[in-house]
Structure 1
Amino acid sequence: MNLFNQYGNPSTRHWLWLLGTSVAFGVEVLFFTILRGYFGPYYSPIWFYLASVLLCVCALLTQLDQPVSKPGPRAGWHFAVYGAVLLFGGAVAAAIQYPVIAANPIDVAQSDVIPILQNYVGRFRSGEIVYRYITNLPYPLFPNHLPLQWLPYVPADKLSIDYRWWSLGILVLGGFGAYLAFLNRQALRWIHFVLLVGLPWLLLCFLIVTGSYMFSHTVEFTIIAYYCLLTASIFIRSAWLRAAALVLCLLSRYSVIFWVPLFLWILWRETGRRHAVAVALLTGLGIVLVYVVPFLSKDWTIFTHALNEYRVATLGEWTRTDATNEGGPVHLFSGLGFASFFYTYGHGEIADRISLLQKVHVLVSLAAVTVSGFVYWKLRRRVDYRVLALIALKFYLATFYAFLQIPYAYLTSMGLFISVFVVVVAFREPKRAVVPSA
């Protein structure tokens, strides 16, 4: 069935899928914030994950058989809005974040995230070996963070700026700036443009207001910015930009690693072998220059040491029970991931249950990529390949974080910002058909 009549107006079915996209996004946000854990530690993660999947399905169906339309010339007021939103939105986010930072000084007794990063930066600035045991914490720790999780804070450390403020600045200027560049490339009705231009800022402020503890001792905003850049790069045909975004993500938190081969395959088919190979080679070169040569080549056991440290941290979280969460570990029973099922119903010792979840995690992540590849193959002539790549990224990340061994809320929050991009493509204005003359 053609979704458009001869005048190019979306059909009722199209508007229903658009409504479904909007509702699914709203439900996803609510289950992450004020309704998190509302249905208990077992049903809540199911509903949260299903909302993410429904968002992907509805957004995909809004774009099925829609002719791709390029945005027309942007009026001056568009760019005025961009500037105003960037400045005003950043100021509002900073005002909301200020009491959170002021009330929570950096304290290793509350969280070791920033103190660990400070160790990396301090060693790097003084010319010491970065990746060796940290001994000035309440416990010895081998560094398990990749370089682009801590390198961005070298200037902040030199300028004596709180890492949390620096992280927020990276998100607003880098991540949300990429979002505005992405928005500028979409064909949107003016009313949809007005509604969507400030959406990531609204989401950010809502997350801070409803869950300030997530961002009181972390710098997750930087990782969110990286993934916003990656998402925006899907719609910008530049091998350099796409490779740079992949390097930022792979060398900070490599959760995107299973999706990368699918993306390169899509690029190979849609943009040509030369472009895909260029993206792959530039990404590999970036990894070599930023990680392998300056750090890994000095000690080839760094990566395996980091994985072992993560296993120790995972075991620690799984053995830390909380009476307010049905006697289970607080982060496992928060209502965001399926780790609670493995903790409760898994067999053997805690280590055995963790091992089982790790295996399942890899399998379902690969399955999500496989399903996405199948959908791309079946719909590649009916949907813009960039939309397919974006929705595949969202579906994959939703699956990846749902089966994470420790589903920390601040880690999972990144997926909500990818959802904002998905919502935008669902609202894209289709290319209007030419009305035949009488």
Structure 2
Amino acid sequence: MWIANGLIPEEDEIIEDSGNRYFQELRSRSFFERVPNPSKRNIEELFLMHDLVNDLAQIASSKLCIKLEESQGYHMLEKSWHLSYTMGEGGGDFEKLMPLYKLEQLKTLLPTCIDVNYCFLSKRVLHNILPRLTSLRALLLLGYRIKEFPNEFFIKLKLLRFLDLSNTRIEKLPDSICVLYILETLLLSSCNNLEDLPLHMEKLINLRHLDIRNTSLLKMPLHLSKLKSLHVLVGAKFLLGGWRMEDLGEAHNLYGSISVVELQNVVDRKDSVNAKMREKNHVEKLSLEWSESSSAHNSKIERDILDDLCPHKNIREVEITRYRGTKFPNWLADPLFLKLVKLSLSNRKDCYSFPALGELPCLKFLSIRGMYGITEVMEEFYGSLSSKKPFNCLEKLEFEDMPEWKQWRVLGIGEFPILEKLLIKKCPKLPENLSSLKNWEF
């Protein structure tokens, strides 16, 4: 939103990098302090403005930045540029937002939600109030129970640069969004009902940041490659068969999590090399998936393809589903993955051994499922013995659906030194008397 409201001047460097540099400068001067993230699933950092700084900021901006519930008459509202309000559980917020009817000077509209997952927004707000705020630069509607927008909703909002529709129930975006020629940021994460993006998205010639995380129904549109200004793409899903590996390789702007599915369609190793996964240093989570109904014709080619899809060393999470090779490539156990904290492997019947996963120095969560070909877990699972104990940082270990697993070699050299939870399910042939591991759950 700093960028949307013109607070970050354009310089020679990328504007997001400039904004981050300003934030780090403010943080170094104690304007912001890091606070614990209450969500264990979310690895994003949270920061809070210091109380004294917050009080000073409110005094300095009291005429331009207003909380709707605290405004003292319409004369204050008509001078404000940035407005926040608390979302309500009932009534659709129409009565609350009625005073905004003529606020054509308003630049930011920021609803806040307190202990309510989804709030209803009246259709009268969508039809009669929001479209009149023609000076809006930043509009946030995240968390509202919105299923659809009026077709012409965005026609008069042509100054929008920041639009956040995350965690709404929207099924599709109106075509009128394509007139937002100066829109720079579009956030659609956790829109679980969203199926399609507008056909003419390439008209958003200034779009720099697109977040489509956790949108399981969304079909990844091929025309996204035409968005020449796109610098940050979060949550991309490449369905091979429509997308090509070259498209993935040319996408240099991938951030956060990406998924590559239908990998059985890759039959030539040259294609997997073209993905250039090692160059994508901003990707934190990588999911690789083969079709459930496919079977491998050449195990070595499968392993080579997975080997070529080795991510950058900045990766934090890797998930491999229905891999069809008999062995995993060595990069999965590379001790140079110093940021890798979570690894999930699932297979059907083809894989017969594990790489030396005990050598991953920072791995905290390991999940292994559906390995029908595994009969024993032996020394190679732990890796070469060194000064560090195998699975030095592992906190949670899961095994599930491994019907032929009969033997687990426990070294007894202090492996799993900080393991908190061991979960074993559907492994009927594994003996239960491995007493050296402290926490068992069946």
Both structures adopt the same fold (TM-score exceeding 0.5): no
Structure with larger Rg? 2
- Could you say which structure has the higher helix fraction? 1
Q: By percentage of residues, which structure has more strand?
A: 2
